[in-house]
Amino acid sequence: MTAPVLDIRGLSISYGTEAGALKALRDVDLEVGEGSIIGIVGESGCGKSTLISAIIRLLAPNAQIVQGAVNFKGRDLLGLSSEQMRALRGDEISMVFQDPMTSLNPTLTIGRQMSDVQHRSTVSRSEKNACSVMMLERVGIPDPEAQLKRYPHHLSGGMRQRVAIAMALMAEPSLLIADEPTTALDATLEVQIIHRLKELQREFGCSILFISHHLGVIAELCEEVIVMYAGEVVESGPLREVFIDPKHPYTRKLLECDPARIAEPTRELPVIEGSLPNLVNLPDGCIFKDRCSKAEARCGIEPPKMSGDGHRAACHLLDHFQETSP
Amino acid sequence: MSKPRGLIAHTWSGLKKDPLGMAGFVLVSFILLLTILAPWLAPYDPLDVNVHNRLSGPSAAHWLGTDQLGRDILSRVLYGGQVALKVSLVAISVAMAIGLLLGMLAGLGPRWLDRVLVIGFDTVRSFPTIMFALAIVALTGPSLNTVIGVIIITSIPVYARVVRTQTRALRQRDFILAERAMGASTGRILRDHVLPNIAAPLFILASMDVPAVVGMEAGLSFLGLGVSPPTPSWGSILNDGYSYLRNSPWPIIAGGIPLIAVTLGFTFFGESLRDIFDPKLRGKDR
C-alpha cells in the first residue's frame, strides 16, 4: 500500500460532562490509503461521529483531544490553525452527510449552492455554473441545467443526496468522508447511490472514509473495514477476512445480528445482550467483557491489545486461539 | 415538479387568496401613496393660519374642516403622514440593522457574549417606553430625532431576540454544519445561509412593527415630546383637537382615522405575509 492519505494514531477524545470526562474515543488507530475505500462500522454511540468531527476539526465545544495525531498527507491536522484547517475543508477533505433532507439550505437554489461551494475558485459565474452542470451530470442527475434553478424541496431524497455528493466532489478532494450517506434513503436508492459512489471514486481516485451501521452497504462498497465498539477499534482488516472470519466476539455478534444473514424464519431478531458500558467510569479490562459470552477471568483485569498482521483484533481469546493452533 | 416561482409571484398569489390581507395591502399602498404625494395633494400649506375660519366643519374648501388656528386639517393630516412615515422608515430600518447584527452575534458567538447581550436586551425591554422617552426628552429637549432615537433603542431588542433565536435554531441544522465542512467562513455562513433563512420572519416583524412605531410617534407628539409645533404630526393634531373637543370633533376624527387605518392596514398585511411565508404559524394569535 502507498503512503496513507489519512493516518490517525492513538487518538483519544473526551467530552467534558457534569458527571466527568466522557471518554468517547480511546487510542484509535486508523489508516486510509490513497484511493481506497475504508468502512467504519459500529452501533450508535461507538464514537463514529466523534471520529469524523475530529478529522475535520469541527468537534463540539466541550470536546477535548486528550492525545494522538491526525496526519493528512503528512500534515498534522490537530496542529493547524483554524484558518489553515478551513482551507482544507471542502477542498482536500469534504463530506457527505446522513440526511439529504436537511443538509441543503432550503432557501437557496441548487445552482446557487453549487456555485457557493466553488467559493475558492475565481472563474466567472457562468463558468461555475458550467462546472455545476458537469458535476450534476456525473452523479447521474437528469437534465442538470434545469435543476440549477430549483430549490432543494423540489427534489426527492435520492436526488438531493446526489446533489450533496456532487457538491462534495466539486473540488476533487483527496478524502471524502461519507457519514451514513444512505441511511435516510430507501433500499433501492441505497444501491444506486453506493454504485455511483464506487464509480466516482474510481474516476476521481479519491479515498473514501465510509461510516455506516449497515453491514450490507459496507460489504458492497469497502475494501477494508474497521469495527468500533464504545470508542475503541476492536477489529480491522480486509473486508472479506473480517466478514468471513471475524476474530472479535463483538464483530461476530454484529454479523449474526444482520437480518440478511438470518437463514430461518424467526419471530425474534437476534440482539447483542446488554448495553454499552459507561464511558465516564470505564470498567477495568476488556471493554466488551460484560456482553461477551466467552469472557474469562483475565478479560476483567487486563485490557486486550490489538494484535495480528493486516487483519487485527483486540481480544484475549485471540492469543488463546493462536496458542492452541500453532 | 412544479416550476419554481419568484418571491413576488408567490406573495401575490398568497395575497389573492386572503381577502383581509389584500385589504391590508390596498390600505397600506393607499396610505403610502397619499403620504408620498402629500406636497402635491395637499390643498393648502399645513402651516397657513387663518383665524377668521377657525374650527370649521367639513366644507368644499376644507374637506376635513379647520383647526383652532384655521389651518386646513386635510393638509395637516397628509403632511403628518410624512412625519409618521419618516419616523417608522428610519427607526425600523436602523433598529432592524442593529438588531440583526447583535442578534447574530448572540446567536452564533460564544456563550458569555450571548448572556451579556440577552441581559442587555431584557434590561432595555423592561423600561416603560414612555418613561424612558420622558427621561431622554428631559435631557435633550423634544425633537423628532429624539423620538426616532428612543424608538430605535427600544426596538433593537425586539429584532435582536428574534434574530438570536432563529440563528440558534439554524446553527443546529445540518446544512450549516455541511457548509462548515465545506470550508465556509463564519461570515459567509451568516451572509449566505443564516440571513436568507431569517429574512422572512424579520420583514414580517417589521411590517407588524410599523403601527406600533407610528402609534408611539403619535403618542409622544401628543404629549408634546415629539415634533415641535407648528410641524403637523398625527399626534399633535390629536392634541390640538383634544383641547377644543367641545367646539369641534373634526380635528380628533381627522387625526384618529389615519392612525386606525395604518394599524389595521399593516396588521392585516403583516399577518397575511406571515401566513404566506410561514404556514406553520397559520391561525395563531387570531
Q: What percent of chain B has pLDDT over 70?
A: 94
Other residues' Cβ atoms within 10 Å of the Cβ of residue B116:
14
* Residues from chain B contacting residue A91 (CB–CB below 8 Å): 183
Mean pLDDT (whole number) for B182-189: 83
Q: What is the pLDDT of residue B115?
A: 92
Q: What is the pLDDT of residue A97?
A: 87
Interface test with B, best of A107, A141, A211 (most B CBs within 10 A): A107
Q: What is the pTM of this model?
A: 0.74
* Residues from chain A contacting residue B196 (CB–CB below 8 Å): 105, 107-108
As to burial, measured by CB atoms within 10 angstroms (0-12 exposed, 13-18 middle, 19+ buried), residue A91 is: middle
Per the CB < 8 Å rule, is B197 touching A89?
no
Q: What is the pLDDT of residue B271?
A: 85
Other residues' Cβ atoms within 10 Å of the Cβ of residue A13:
25
Mean pLDDT, each 10-residue run in order, chain A (326 residues):
81 88 89 89 84 87 88 88 87 87 86 86 86 88 89 88 89 88 80 86 89 86 90 90 88 83 76 81 84 82 83 80 48
pLDDT tens digit string along B242-277? 888 787 788 888 888 888 988 899 888 888 888 887
Q: Which residue has the cell 454484529?
A: A254
Q: Which residue has the cell 408620498?
A: B36
* A179, closest residue in chain B (CA to CA): B178
Summary mean pLDDT of chain B: 83
- Is A176 in the B-facing interface, judged by CB distances under 8 Å? no
- Is A167 in the B-facing interface, judged by CB distances under 8 Å? yes
**B14: CB partners within 8 A, 6+ apart:** B21, B272, B275, B276
Q: How far is CA A135 from CA A109, A111, A260, in A?
A: 16, 11, 34
Q: What is the pLDDT of residue A209?
A: 92
**What is the DSSP-derived secondary structure letter of residue B146?**
H
Pick the CATH number of B7-277 from 1.10.3720.10, 2.60.40.10, 3.40.1370.10, 3.30.1380.10: 1.10.3720.10
Interface test with B, best of A58, A103, A114, A132 (most B CBs within 10 A): A103
* B186, closest residue in chain A (CA to CA): A86
Query: What is the maximum alpha-carbon separation in chain A?
Result: 68
Q: Which residue has the cell 498482521?
A: A309
Do residues A24 and A69 lie in contact, with contact meaning Cβ atoms separated by under 8 Å?
no
Q: What percent of chain B has pLDDT over 90?
A: 12
Per the CB < 8 Å rule, is B184 touching A116?
yes
Q: Is the pLDDT of residue B286 over 70?
A: no
- Is A104 in the B-facing interface, judged by CB distances under 8 Å? yes
CA distance A204 to chain B (A): 18
Q: What is the pLDDT of residue A203?
A: 87
Question: What 3-state class would DSSP assign to A227?
Answer: strand
Q: Which of A58, A87, A105 has the CB atom closest to B175's CB atom?
A: A105
Q: What is the pLDDT of residue A169?
A: 87
Helix-helix angle A110-117:A157-169, to 10 degrees = 20
Q: How far is CA A158 from CA A26, A141, A144, A187, in A?
A: 35, 10, 15, 11
Residue A60 cell numbers, joined: 463540539
Q: What is the pLDDT of residue A225?
A: 92
Q: Is the pLDDT of residue B116 over 90?
A: yes
Per the CB < 8 Å rule, is A95 touching B4?
no
Q: Is the pLDDT of residue B4 over 60?
A: no
Q: How far is CA B172 from CA B41, B107, B167, B235, in A?
A: 53, 11, 9, 46
Do residues A197 and A165 lie in contact, with contact meaning Cβ atoms separated by under 8 Å?
yes
Q: Which of B173, B181, B197 has the CB atom closest to A94's CB atom?
A: B181
Per the CB < 8 Å rule, is A58 touching B192?
no
Per the CB < 8 Å rule, is B175 touching A90?
no
pLDDT tens digit string along A166-181? 888 888 889 999 988 8
* B182, closest residue in chain A (CA to CA): A90
In angstroms, the first-to-last Cα distance of chain B is 34
Q: Which of A107, A116, A150 has the CB atom closest to B197's CB atom?
A: A107
Q: How far is CA A145 from CA A118, A121, A141, A167, B55, in A?
A: 17, 20, 10, 15, 69
Q: How far is CA B74 from CA B29, B46, B264, B266, in A?
A: 19, 8, 20, 22
Do residues B92 and B79 lie in contact, with contact meaning Cβ atoms separated by under 8 Å?
no
CA distance B179 to chain A (A): 8
Mean pLDDT (whole number) for B178-201: 84
Interface test with A, best of B111, B171, B175 (most A CBs within 10 A): B175
pLDDT tens digit string along A274-285? 778 888 888 888
* B4, closest residue in chain A (CA to CA): A150
CA distance A172 to chain B (A): 12
Query: What is the maximum alpha-carbon separation in chain B?
Result: 77
What per-residue string of b and e applies to B170-195 under the rule 16 or more CB within 10 Å gives b?
beebbbbbbbbbbbbeeebbbebbbb
Q: What is the pLDDT of residue B96?
A: 93
pLDDT tens digit string along B65-107? 777 777 888 888 888 888 888 888 899 999 999 999 999 989 8
- Is A86 in the B-facing interface, judged by CB distances under 8 Å? yes
Q: What is the pLDDT of residue B92?
A: 93
pLDDT tens digit string along A71-100? 988 888 888 888 888 888 888 899 888 888
Q: What is the dihedral of CA A144, A146, A150, A154, to 10 degrees?
A: -80
- Is A310 in the B-facing interface, judged by CB distances under 8 Å? no
Q: How many residues does chain A have?
A: 326
Residue A63 cell numbers, joined: 470536546
Q: What is the pLDDT of residue A326?
A: 39
Per the CB < 8 Å rule, is B175 touching A104?
yes
Spatial separation of the C-alpha atoms in residues A21 and B60, rounded to whole Å: 84
Mean pLDDT (whole number) for B211-217: 87
CA distance B284 to chain A (A): 24
